[in-house]
Amino acid sequence: MKKLLPIAVLAVAACVAMPASAQSGYTQTRHPIVLVHGLFGFDAIGPVDYWWGVPSALRSSGAKVYVTQQSAANASEVRGEQLLAELRRLQAAYGHQKFNLIGHSHGGHTIRYVAAVAPELVASATSVGSPHAGSPVADDIAAAVDGTGSTAVAAKLMDAFAGLVSALSGEAKPQNSEAAMRSLTTQGSAAFTQRFPAGKPSEPCGEGLAVVNNVRYYSIGGTGVVTNLLDPTDGLMAVGSLSFKGGANDGLVGRCSSHWGVVLRDNYPWNHLDEVNQAFGLRGLFTPDPVAFYRTHANRLKLAGL
């Protein structure tokens, strides 16, 4: 017994020294976490995860995590119905009662739809870089294709791209790029919010109710654009940021547009893809780790009994 004592002491000391975020059970929420991708997104294509490094990091300390796949491009309501069907399948297969939904970009609209039509299935809804008030980028694209009469041609090209993304990720889903574009415009998002207002900020750039119909609402956003010159996607973010005419944005979504429910933070130094740790974890030097955010948020949900 005396020989075992030093080993026991060392084990206890190691646990005390270990950061809280690394300890077993840190992300072990009561209800499973469900990650919902945005426009032109996917669950995984080969070794490439949309949520780069996030699911494994959450699972490593206790979380049950599901990564769903909706149409890469479609209307908010259509994507919402697809998510709802997937949650009901998971409920039937594994007996889950509720889910903690986390949606990136257009995924924010998707999870809001489910939280509104089936609140009994949702413990929390967290939106990440979601254009709840619409995106000027979508407005400019809609104006350009409508003004040049090229809407149908552009939609076919984007539908083909979205279909390819879905096929490569192993899911054959219906695609409707024009419907997705209309959903993400200022006008389309306003119409969606009129139908599904739970969590809406009480004033522009403010916060909404923390809990509606027993669903807790959270949101975060970024205000970085070009964050890493080695990241090839930063060029797209730079082009998208032009639509904001100097307003704070993440390349595709404005700072205030990301607000919904309790705003955890709206100015992370991340661009739109940094928010899901893409591309391949490239981001600005000395900026917060997106994966660490998801772990911390899972712990927040755990402590709230969710």
Q: One of 250, 266, 274, 297 is an active-site residue; which one?
A: 250
The continuous run of DSSP H or E covering 220 comes out as strand 215-222
| 51 belongs to a structural domain | yes
Task: Single out the catalytic residue among 106, 109, 259, 272.
Answer: 272
Predicted local distance difference test score (pLDDT) of residue 13: 40
Task: Report if pTM > 0.85.
Answer: yes
Tens digits of residue pLDDT in 105-140 = 999 999 999 999 999 999 999 999 999 999 999 999
Identify the CATH number of the domain in which residue 243 sits. Answer: 3.40.50.1820
Catalytic residue (one of 61, 71, 105, 189): 105
- Measure the CA–CA gap between 114 and 127, rounded to whole angstroms: 13
Is 105 one of the catalytic residues? yes
Q: Look at residue 18 and tell me whether its pLDDT is greater than 70.
A: no
pLDDT digits (tens, 9 = 90+) for 175-228: 999 999 999 999 999 999 999 999 999 999 999 999 999 999 999 999 999 999
Cα 100 to Cα 3, 30, 121, 176, distances in angstroms = 46, 9, 9, 27
CA atoms within 13 A on the CB side of 19: 6
Is residue 10 pLDDT above 60, yes or no?
Answer: no
Q: Is 42 within the bounds of a domain?
A: yes
State the pLDDT confidence band at 174, using cuts at 50, 70 and 90. Answer: very high
In a domain, residue 168? The reply is yes
| Residue type at position 3 | K
85: tokens are: 């069907």
| Residue 226 in domain | yes
9 belongs to a structural domain: no
Q: H helices within the chain, ranges in order?
A: 4-17, 54-59, 76-94, 107-117, 136-148, 151-168, 177-184, 186-195, 234-241, 290-303
Is 272 annotated as catalytic? Answer: yes
Q: Peptide bond before 167: cis, by omega within 30 degrees of 0?
A: no
Q: What angle separates helix 186-195 from helix 107-117, to the nearest 10 degrees?
A: 20
Distance CA 124, CA 87 (A): 14
**Which domain covers residue 214, as residue numbers?**
26-61+70-115+133-303
Please give the tally of structural domains in the chain: 1
Asked if residue 5 belongs to a domain, the reply is no
Which of the pair, 250 or 17, is modelled with greater confidence? 250
**pLDDT above 90 coverage of the chain, percent:** 91
Is 250 one of the catalytic residues?
Answer: yes
Query: Which distant-in-sequence residues (6+ apart) come within 8 Å of 266 by Cβ?
Result: 219, 220, 221, 223, 255, 256, 258, 259
**Would residue 232 count as lying in a domain?**
yes
